[in-house]
Amino acid sequence: MIQVNNLRKIYNGTTVLELETLSIGKGESIGLVGNNGAGKTTFFSLLLDLIQPTSGTVFSKGSNVATSEQWKNYTTSFLDETFLIGYLTAEEYFVFLGNLRGWSKAEVEEFVKEHLSFFNGEVLGQKKYIRDFSKGNQKKIGIVAAFIGNPELVILDEPFANLDPSTQMRLKELVKKKKESKQMTLIISSHDLQHTYEVSDRIIALEKGRLRHDVNTAEITYQELEGFFSSVS
């Protein structure tokens, strides 16, 4: 589904990302891990055409994301709260996105009902604007919103951050459920190795902008994954 060829991004003379080749197949659940400065957010920004590569290409289902609009029809993401519309309520935001993605209000409302346990009574029916929610509840809104419309590709940046332990567990169950059909490709970045390992079919580890490891979780233990970072400063 995703093919990266000779991708490079340079800022002020410093190479922050350099990937010779990388392929991500349809239906895969990818955990993107790495320390601060590894290039995870830069990679996501290039996947979503938020920034231009210095050189190289990202293809999504055969289309160059930098020159085509087609990939936007089946791709959703939540990187941070800037992706939200702060002056809407959560319910208004969900309906707005559903309309953009071809869902009726009734379809959106039914979808939201399926995620009541994830919201844990803290988001829906609060009569609050999104900007007035806590960071954790804003994240809940953004995560669920990313799944509206049954997109083929979902990109989530640090979804476990700012969530309490109970919500992190609910998020793990949510992601596992979404990936069961193998119709949705998930790419999740996180500093939380344990959670990422548990929800991913494959781990891609970056170090200082370069691919360090690319392994299936079925082929390694969590302890081995931790060992990838034992020698990284």
Q: Vertex 167, ends 48 and 174: CA angle to 5°?
A: 60
**pLDDT tens readout for residues 10-52:** 999 999 999 999 999 999 999 999 988 899 999 999 999 999 9
So what's the pLDDT on residue 198? 92
Q: What is the DSSP string of 7-19?
A: EEEEETTEEEEEE
Q: Token pair for residue 156?
A: 């989530």
Asked if 138 contacts 83 with a C-beta cutoff of 8 angstroms, the reply is no
b (16+ CB within 10 A) / e for 26-35? ebbbbbbbbe
Whose tokens are 């954790």? That residue is: 136
Q: Does the pLDDT value for residue 133 go beyond 80?
A: yes
Taking a C-beta distance cutoff of 8 angstroms, is the pair 207, 15 a contact? no
Q: Let me know the angle formed at the C-alpha of 83 by 77 and 86, rounded to the nearest 5 degrees.
A: 145
**pTM as predicted:** 0.93
So where are the chain's domains?
1-74+153-233, 87-151
CATH homologous superfamily of 1-74+153-233 equals P-loop containing nucleotide triphosphate hydrolases (3.40.50.300)
CA gap 126, 81 in Å, rounded: 19
Phi, psi of 194, deg, nearest 5:
-60, -50
Confidence of residue 231 (pLDDT cuts 50, 70, 90): low
Q: Tens of pLDDT along 70-97? A: 999 999 999 999 999 999 999 999 999 9
pLDDT band at residue 232 under the 50/70/90 scheme: low
Q: What proportion of the chain, given as a percentage, has pLDDT over 70?
A: 99
